[in-house]
Amino acid sequence: MVDKDLLSIQEARSLVRAARVAQAEFCQMGQERIDAVVKAIAEATAAQAEALAALAHEETGYGKTQDKKVKNLLASEKVYACIKDMKTIGVIHEDPVNKITEIAVPVGVIAGVVPSTNPTATVIYKTLISLKAGNAIVFTPHPAAKKCIARAVEIIKETLQRCGVSTDLVSCITVPTLEGSTELMKISDLILATGGPGMVKAAYSSGTPALGVGAGNVPAYIERSADVKDAVTKIMTSKTFDNGTICASEQSIIAEKVNADAVKRELIAQGGFFLEGEDLVKVKAVMERGNGSMNPAIVGRDAQTIARLAGINIPAGTRLLVSDEKGVGPKFPFSKEKLTSLIAFYVVEDWHEACELCQALLHNCGIGHSLSIHSNNPEVVREFGLKKPVSRILVNTPSTHGAVGLTTGLFPSLTLGCGAIGGSATSDNVTPMNLLNIRRVAYETNSAAPAAPAKAVDIDALASMIVAELKKAL
């Protein structure tokens, strides 16, 4: 009988050893050569974007194939477009005024934790930013998505071989277990952790430096000055994208009393169905497991699938199931993160009350991540920007698309840092610059030599001189 745990641990050790050898050679190849490899991988994975999307959807059952294709293209084409001109190897900056030269130093071998919700896109994205910074990467896949993740790694390895560099630069554990993942995280040089709270916590507890992401619980506030139809359209576009599997998707809509009816009408017109009575009770019954965590059976599913699981009937064409919510906390499951076609609906008096509700929702789950606001009042937007405990505030844009850099100028990323307040080592959309250290060579600009010491005073000689001068005067 084969012990899978021991096999996984040994595989992690072997892959990291091989990656160290490959990385030591790769990082010496120079910026131009490394850039050529990165470009080739971006092109090869972009060409397989649809096939990988179909494979991910087939294996996990999550989301939509076409939306997963968009995510794969974001991770390949859009990420490459943003990193292709970055200086990441050797001397990256020289400051002649302050006489400082900055040299990029790769961190080494990265452990890439891959979730089942965004499997192939995460592999592509993490590979490109890791190699761009001169690193190697070893992936630990979510067991529910190991086939599609393995295929993405296989495409990348084939490209590395064609480029004439070691295929050990990118590898993947084939027997994923918790013990194997734990070992990988212990012996790597940096962890890029994307996954559930348990996995991210394990990454930060491993003793290895880690860049992790926390849960999202994005409130979407429709302030009274907003264009209601535009706001609802963007929220629906975002929340239904890949059936809500991106953690930056909206989890609650907050309207004001002055526009709540208009928002409701527009939600219904665009395929929102407000759950009431027994229907709401049945949906709540399938939302969570006994420990309060999200039920995997509803993750990444469309509204019709959730309705069937709950045993309720909903209108044809329903895109989103909505619950009028009155509270925040464990007793109110719609107030938490829901990576699926479910969303809460709140009504407040004004933006001051919206501020308080957003704070409560974020502290309930998702602090440090993202917040969405639809408003044409720059002063309100500024107040939210100054005071909300998040790393991203997305204004008048679909939250999902805005946070990952599809509809905003943010760096295209599938690792969205939540800052210290969210338990993350960074608040950035992670880029290659997060995966290298900088060595600084500094020349002297100010002399530190001590001033010449004062000559000792001969008191007796000074006294004799004073006496002699007095005698002359007399």
Does residue 351 sit in the same domain as residue 265?
A: yes
Q: φ, ψ for residue 338 (rounded to 5)?
A: -135, 95
Q: How many residues does the chain have?
A: 474
Does residue 356 sit in the same domain as residue 222?
A: yes
Beta bridge partners of 320: 272
Does residue 232 sit in the same domain as residue 196?
A: no
Does residue 281 sit in the same domain as residue 176?
A: no
Strand-strand pairing, 250-256 and 109-114: unpaired
Helices (H), 27-64: 31-47, 49-60
Beta bridge partners of 429: 416
380 sits in which H/E element: helix 378-387
Distance, in Å, from the CA atom of 114 to the CA atom of 196, rounded to the nearest integer, reads: 10
Per-residue pLDDT for the chain (474 aa), expressed as one digit of tens each? 668 999 999 999 999 999 999 999 999 999 999 999 999 999 999 999 999 999 999 999 999 999 999 999 999 999 999 999 999 999 999 999 999 999 999 999 999 999 999 999 999 999 999 999 999 999 999 999 999 999 999 999 999 999 999 999 999 999 999 999 999 999 999 999 886 667 777 787 888 988 888 789 999 999 999 999 999 999 999 999 999 999 999 999 999 999 999 999 999 999 999 999 999 999 999 998 888 888 999 999 999 999 999 999 999 999 999 999 999 999 999 999 999 999 999 999 999 999 999 999 999 988 999 999 999 999 999 999 999 999 999 999 999 999 999 999 999 999 999 998 988 889 999 999 999 999 999 999 998 766 656 565 566 776 677 667 666 665
In a domain, 386, yes or no: yes
pLDDT at residue 212, rounded to an integer: 81
User: Are residues 166 and 25 in contact, defined by beta-carbon separation less than 8 angstroms?
Assistant: yes
pLDDT at residue 306, rounded to an integer: 97
pLDDT at residue 293, rounded to an integer: 84
pLDDT at residue 412, rounded to an integer: 96
Catalytic residues: 247
Number of H helices, E strands in the chain: 17, 15
Instruction: Name the residue type at position 204.
Output: Y
Does residue 137 sit in the same domain as residue 263?
A: no
In a domain, 448, yes or no: no
In a domain, 305, yes or no: yes
pLDDT at residue 2, rounded to an integer: 66
In a domain, 466, yes or no: no
Q: φ, ψ for residue 21 (rounded to 5)?
A: -65, -45
In a domain, 411, yes or no: no
Please count the structural domains in the chain: 2
Does residue 81 sit in the same domain as residue 156?
A: yes
Does residue 157 sit in the same domain as residue 227?
A: no
User: Are residues 249 and 366 in contact, defined by beta-carbon separation less than 8 angstroms?
Assistant: no
> For the domain that residue 149 is a member of, what is the CATH number?
3.40.605.10
- Domain extent at residue 291: 218-405
> For the domain that residue 345 is a member of, what is the CATH number?
3.40.309.10
Residue in 110, 115, 144 with CA at minimum distance from that of residue 127: 110
Query: Which residues lie below 8 Å from residue 349, measured CB to CB, with a gap of 6+?
Result: 256, 257
Strand-strand pairing, 436-442 and 100-106: antiparallel
Does residue 330 sit in the same domain as residue 196?
A: no
In a domain, 320, yes or no: yes
In a domain, 419, yes or no: no
Does residue 178 sit in the same domain as residue 195?
A: yes
Does residue 317 sit in the same domain as residue 266?
A: yes
Q: Which two tokens stand for residue 63?
A: 């989301």
pLDDT at residue 207, rounded to an integer: 86
Sheet holding 190-193, edge to edge: 170-172, 136-141, 109-114, 190-193, 210-212
pLDDT at residue 210, rounded to an integer: 87
In a domain, 464, yes or no: no
Residue in 386, 385, 370, 383 with CA at minimum distance from that of residue 429: 370
pTM (whole model) above 0.85: yes
Does residue 227 sit in the same domain as residue 252?
A: yes
pLDDT at residue 1, rounded to an integer: 60
User: Are residues 153 and 139 in contact, defined by beta-carbon separation less than 8 angstroms?
Assistant: yes
Does residue 186 sit in the same domain as residue 228?
A: no
